[in-house]
Amino acid sequence: MDKNLIIVVGHYGSGKTEFSINYAVKSKETFKKVNLVDLDIVNPYFRSREKREMLENMDISIMASNLTNKNLDIPALSPSINGAINDIKARTIIDAGGDPVGAKALSRYNNIIRNKDYDMFLVVNANRQDTQNLEKIISYYEKIEATSRLKITGLINNTHTLQSTSIEDVMRGAELVKKVSEKLKIPVKYHTAIKKIADEINKNKSMEVFPIELYMREEWMY
């Protein structure tokens, strides 16, 4: 079972933010209170805080910069983040920066988080050049742990090409993260795919796939 405090990290293009939002929405089925913390203060695109209105309408609290302009790239983080991390009754999901530089914002909360019972999931998209083989993923894994000073506890296979994702993409990603899991001795927590692909794989019962809605992509982006 996943912990109440979940940290999500992953390379740019991995689908880290999309997974974080979908995971927050799913968490509402079992948690009365769900917090989504946007710690991505480096990447100017596809931030979870851009969906604040949608998430708040779902009764999901979102915390990020203490400034209201979502397009500003400055390390001004809301003091409410500490409260969310310490809230033992809530499911709190931290959408952390998408590279070792971005993970520095996460290290700012290291003294609080490391004393908590937390999970940190590494999202892998095997279609991205920087995470397309075992050696590159392990190198990325090591850099994220060193920068954040926290331990990655699980892997997420989110191998995709947006709406063009195929079953073959998902299965190829599954094989890769299995090798990473065996090498690092950490579990594969989820395989994900857009809903139509997830439904097809789940119907065949070849493996369980977490269905993803593309909340961060407008139709013209597909």
| CA gap 176, 137 in Å, rounded | 9
pLDDT at 101 over 90: no
pLDDT single digits (tens) 141-167: 999 999 999 999 999 999 998 888 899
Domains defined for the chain, CATH in brackets: 5-221 (3.40.50.300)
pLDDT single digits (tens) 26-71: 999 999 999 999 887 655 545 566 777 899 999 999 987 554 444 4
| Predicted structure pTM score | 0.89
Burial class (CB in 10 A: 0-12, 13-18, 19+), 33: middle
| CA gap 98, 11 in Å, rounded | 5
